[in-house]
Amino acid sequence: MVIKSLGHACYTAGDGRSALLFDPFLEGNPEAVVGPDEVQATAILPSHGHSDHLGDAIPIALRLGVPIIAPYELAMYCQRHGAQVLPLHIGGGVDLAWGRVKLTDATHGSAIVGDQMIEYTGPACGFLVAMSGQTLYFAGDTGLFGDMRLIGEAGIDVAILPIGDHFTMGIEDAVRAVEFLQPKAVIPTHYSAFEPIRKDPNLFAARVSAMGVRCVVLSPGEEATF
Ligand code: NI
Ligand code: MN
């Protein structure tokens, strides 16, 4: 499985045939390495409705004719705006041609925050993905929670975990998350696009490496194979 950072919390995970696009915030993302008019994907997985995650999911889905896989309420929002959707909910998964995706808990909000009103879009989620013999845990925006131990029982090859603090886990809690999840490798995310969440991923990498876990710091545009 090849995982590529497109900037902030946006990643692709692919097996050469299918490409999952997570949290496609590209327009207005100071780190974006590709525009919403060029990015390619076979499915789009927004973890919640916040603008730095749902981002350009709907226009990308419309342009490519690919489904948005999301918690039910967020999926219905996307469907109302014309997108093809595959609604799931926390704890539920689905087998697809390329593998399996299951929604996990995330301790975070989820809403479309407009000028005039805030539209609730269900709970925020994480994604547990099985593809080409690898298991990926994309945590989304979340605080630390004890049931990461339970998620870890899936046997995680690579975990993408937020470390930026302020809106999600900071480095200390993300280190504890690695203890709970016991992944073979971890990619830190959500730490540099905006001033309040600016953190040094190498501090996290040093802590995690000391635990014997491979830490892969991906700058926007970089990719790694797992
Ligand atoms: Ni958020
Ligand atoms: Mn966020």
Which residues of the chain carry a pLDDT beneath 50? none
Go through the domains of the chain in sequence order and give each one's CATH number.
Answer: 2-217 (3.60.15.10)
Ligand having the closest approach to the CA of 113: 1
pLDDT given at position 183: 98
> What spacing in Å lies between the alpha carbon of 106 and ligand 2's midpoint?
12
Q: Does the pTM of the predicted model rise above 0.95?
A: yes
pLDDT given at position 51: 97
Ligand having the closest approach to the CA of 164: 2
Which residues have beta carbons under 5 A from ligand 2 (an ion)?
A: 52, 141
> What spacing in Å lies between the alpha carbon of 207 and ligand 1's midpoint?
25
Residue 35 vs residues 28, 38, 57, 103: alpha-carbon distances, Å: 10, 5, 12, 27
Structure-block tokens of residue 39: 């990015």
Ligand having the closest approach to the CA of 194: 2
CA 196, CA 216: separation in Å to the nearest integer? 23
pLDDT given at position 37: 98
pLDDT digits (tens, 9 = 90+) for 23-50: 999 999 999 999 999 999 999 999 999 9
> What spacing in Å lies between the alpha carbon of 118 and ligand 1's midpoint?
14
Structure-block tokens of residue 44: 């789009």
- Contact (Cβ atoms closer than 8 angstroms) between residue 130 and residue 100: yes
> What spacing in Å lies between the alpha carbon of 190 and ligand 2's midpoint?
7
Q: Which long-range contacts (CB under 8 A, 24 or more apart) does 53-58 make?
A: 53/9, 53/23, 53/25, 53/140, 53/141, 54/23, 54/25, 54/112, 54/121, 55/10, 55/23, 55/24, 55/25, 55/26, 55/27, 55/29, 56/24, 56/25, 56/26, 56/27, 57/24, 57/83, 58/82, 58/83
